[in-house]
Structure 1
Amino acid sequence: MLVGLLTACGGNSGVPKNLVGKAIALQVGQTQQQLSQQLKLSLPKSALNIDRVNIATQTPVTIQDLPSYKVTGTYDFTLKLKTREATQSDNPFEVYVQRQREGKTWRLAQQQTNENGTGWVTWLIE
């Protein structure tokens, strides 16, 4: 009986794995940009390829009154620079993704703290 209830309630739930890969790439790219700004470095343009996303947990949460998920797991990535390529496996991740009202798009959500307190900032996942 409980299995039937869980299946019925979870019919349209969950985050597609390819979307999680895009969210990870967006989050890593933003972190790279923030670090280069803070360190006043001019990092070369690189191609980041997220691969082998393994989702361990998807926890439903609410962000800005919209259905969202905290997703954790591991991923592999390959970073292609001008003269070399670096690959790293089994990197842990934690991303928050927010489904928009119309249900067609998702946004990466990150908590940020400033002088006014803590709030959520979101970016469209393309």
Structure 2
Amino acid sequence: MPGVFICLFLTFTSVSISGCQRGNAPREFAPDGTVIEQAMHMELQQYYRDLSRTITAQPPTLKLNNIQVNQIDSFFLKRLPVYHMQGTYDLELGFRHQVENRKHNPFDLYLQRQTEGKTWRSLKKIPSGWQSYAIRE
């Protein structure tokens, strides 16, 4: 009989602990504009680098402007806060002989604050879970 109570206690405790991790992460710890811009710039650089390799051309220079976060949600993943942000941005693409401006581009980012609270990782949802990339400053 004591084994049943221990089992119930452990089950209740594990449900309570995992339940805390299902809540929203505190908004005051959300990434600032610099982190968001760095994550977007890194993602766009990789995209245009890959595209340029495909067509055998130089990748353009990138300049992000008017980043607007329209929605922010949060959750915990492996006990670390993740902030899901959606919004729009303007992009200036600098090619060798011209500059092209693209306005009101949508973005969808998942950013995770690391344990020490000083660095961030960009997350991508993949079929087997999440892939993460360090955001370089």
TM-score range, shorter chain: 0.7 to 0.9
Pairing 1:15–2:26 present: no
Consecutive unaligned residues in structure 1, runs of 5 or more:
1-8
Cα shift at 1:118: 3.5
Q: What is the distance in 1 between the residues matched to 2:29 and 2:41? A: 22
Tell me the percent identity: 24
Cα deviation code 1:36-67 (max 9, x no counterpart):
45xx3223132100111011111112234321
Residue correspondence of structure 1 range 62-101 to structure 2 within 5 A: 62-101=76-115
- Tell me the equivalent position of 2:116: 102
More helix by share: 2
Name the SS for the 2:41 alignment partner.
helix
TM-score, normalised with respect to structure 1: 0.77
More strand by share: 1
Cα deviation code 1:64-113 (max 9, x no counterpart):
43211111100001011111000111111101111111011111111234
Distance change >3 Å, CA 51–CA 125, structure 1 → 2: same
For the pair shown, which has the larger CA radius of gyration, 1 or 2? 2
Consecutive unaligned residues in structure 2, runs of 5 or more:
1-24
